[in-house]
Structure 1
Amino acid sequence: MTEATETKHFRTLFISDMHLGSKAARTDFLLDFLRHHEADTIYLVGDVVDGWRLKRNWYWPQGCNDVVQKLLRKARKGTRIIYIPGNHDEFLRAFPGVHFGGIEVAERMIHEAADGKKYLVLHGDEFDVVVRNIRLLAYLGDWAYDAAIAINVVLAAVRRRLKLPYWSFSAWAKLQVKQAVNFIGEFQKVVAEEARRNQVDGVICGHIHHAVIEDIEGIRYINTGDWVESCTAIVEHMDGTFELICWQSIGQTAEVMTLPAPAAKPVGDMQAA
């Protein structure tokens, strides 16, 4: 753990799965992270707003407003912000190329890093068979996930009182279930294959709330994680190095993985970044 008393500036910042509108969203951690990190370009890699939960029960506390206002303020100050919708905010997929307060919407992008390597950037839900083909089962799984997150909330409160860093019960439990581990592995392989089909060096995605940087058969696979369980983000340094950052508690950060990596143009009919 290292103190984060000053703002750090990066070439690119990738964040996904904030789930604003969900009671599980860690808006306090996310806002603190955004205060301490600036970037030339920020990618919001899907599930920023949790439309599924907002449809069931409207919940939008001040913390959600604060995060949105912080992002809009960064856009006004010159940061390029690209919003790639996910399955929970899929309503925005009807607005590719549209700008909202300086934030541009795109279905997917090709990001070219400082070292010239190219990355496909997408949310990843299109490679989740359950979400794509069995929507009812996906909703049922979402409700079960809510229960695990509720346990998270209680544990987080206890750990705060004990002055312990944030720890996710739901993330730990997920990795104890063989089927979940198998799903993560298969998802990573399929997404990496999509990057290979697009003739790029790697892929940056979210969706499964499992942050990691690794190589899969010659393709760099990067998952941004989430701001519900792990509170993680991916940053690209000015030299093209990618780093996975875990924001463990307010005002502090743990750097958990650093690997060399490869600015952005769209795939197909998408605009250049």
Structure 2
Amino acid sequence: MRSSFEPTVGTHLAEVTDLFDFAESRPHRPEVATGERQRYRTIWISDVHLGTRGCNADLLIDFLDHVDSRTMYLVGDIIDGWQLKKRFFWPAAHNDVIWRLMKRARRGTKMVYIPGNHDEMFRQFAGLDFGGIQIRRKAIHETADGRRLLVLHGDEFDAITLSHRWLAHVGDAAYNLLMALNRWVSAIRRRFGMPYWSLSKHAKAKVKNAVAFISRFEEIVAEAAGARGVDGVVCGHIHTAEIREIAGVDYYNDGDWVEGCTALVEHFDGRMEIIHWADEIAKREAPAATPALAA
């Protein structure tokens, strides 16, 4: 295994396969030995943005240590190549996320990786399989209740990303400034024992133009999915988890692991649900906190 991973170099097959050798090594943070993991038929996660300070790798590691599924989709922007080209940032926790994903594939989980715009360097390998992980531009998932869902990242429908790439990078820089402020607020909340809360997510929900953009994006994606004859669509990209029906099409967005820390899951009967992992951790820790409060 290489001593460090250099995601900015993505044009050689041998270097990409090195990424999947993590399953043969030991993680910096060992897996938590939990009793009964939460089991789902399918899990979707996206917009992890490994390689950035905004990535909530600790929460994602906790999530991966407490859930399991037959199939898992990585719906783009798992690694942030845009930021890594500007400044290399890759702490041990980010290696541990990769290790857990690789280990999951080795244990028999069907893993499908659909690169997004931030990890587009892996799109050139679409159609190939590495270490048990299938790399695809898009996929069709059939739910337990027989519905066909189109799975894609979603940047294909973002006019700013497609038509004005320079503007997308400017917006990305502004977003990273907001995320820096978000980390500062989170650090203060942790210091006072308060649960995770996203300033950036709250701000985005309050800004009228952002709300209008999100709504229009959802409508365009659902319309495109309907035109392709599927029952629904699963995407990421806009960091806004959502389940809604639009013009007879089931629209699902799995959110992100920068602001909301969410995943989309399919239960074994086909029912779909968004999991807010910070809330799950709060529920898990609540019984332990009760005796202390009573004392």
Tell me the C-alpha RMSD between the 2 structures: 1.4
Distance in 2, Cα, partners of 1:75 & 1:23: 26
Partner of 1:172: 202
Partner residue of 2:127 out of 69, 94, 97: 97
3-state SS of 2:186 partner: helix
Distance in 1, Cα, partners of 2:135 & 2:197: 32
Partner of 1:23: 53
Query: Cα deviation per residue 1:141-169 (whole Å; 9 max; x = unaligned)?
Result: 00000111011111111111222211111
Write out aligned runs for 1:24-103 (5 A). 24-103=54-133
Partner of 1:118: 148
Larger Rg: 2
Contact 2:182 2:199 in 1 (8 A): yes
Distance in 1, Cα, partners of 2:97 & 2:140: 26
Distance in 1, Cα, partners of 2:137 & 2:179: 28
4+ aligned runs moved over 6 Å, structure 1: none
Alpha-carbon deviation of 1:251?
A: 3.8
Distance in 1, Cα, partners of 2:137 & 2:192: 43
Alpha-carbon deviation of 1:99?
A: 1.5
Contact 2:195 2:282 in 1 (8 A): no
Alpha-carbon deviation of 1:6?
A: 3.6
Query: Cα deviation per residue 1:159-194 (whole Å; 9 max; x = unaligned)?
Result: 112222111111111122211111101100000011
3-state SS of 2:226 partner: helix
Alpha-carbon deviation of 1:5?
A: 6.8
Distance in 1, Cα, partners of 2:71 & 2:59: 20
Alpha-carbon deviation of 1:252?
A: 4.2
Judged with a 3 Å threshold, the aligned counterparts in structure 2 of structure 1 residues 103 and 253 are, in CA distance, closer, same or farther, namely farther
Unaligned runs of 5+ in 1: 255-273
Judged with a 3 Å threshold, the aligned counterparts in structure 2 of structure 1 residues 11 and 54 are, in CA distance, closer, same or farther, namely same
Amino acid at match of 2:183: V
Unaligned runs of 5+ in 2: 1-33, 285-295
Q: Normalising by structure 1, report the TM-score.
A: 0.89
Report the count of equivalent residues: 251
3-state SS of 1:248 partner: helix
Amino acid at match of 1:15: I
Distance in 2, Cα, partners of 1:250 & 1:234: 14
Partner of 1:108: 138
Distance in 2, Cα, partners of 1:239 & 1:80: 18
Contact 2:37 2:67 in 1 (8 A): yes
Distance in 2, Cα, partners of 1:244 & 1:231: 10
Partner of 1:229: 259
Contact 1:32 1:250 in 2 (8 A): no
Distance in 2, Cα, partners of 1:36 & 1:24: 22
Amino acid at match of 1:160: R
Distance in 1, Cα, partners of 2:282 & 2:199: 20
Distance in 2, Cα, partners of 1:253 & 1:134: 43
User: Sequence identity of aligned pairs in percent?
Assistant: 51
Query: Cα deviation per residue 1:222-257 (whole Å; 9 max; x = unaligned)?
Result: 000000000000010110011100011684469xxx
Partner of 1:240: 270
Relative contact order higher in (CA < 8 Å, ≥ 6 apart): 1
3-state SS of 2:77 partner: coil
Q: Does 1:144 align with 2:174?
A: yes
Distance in 2, Cα, partners of 1:220 & 1:19: 26
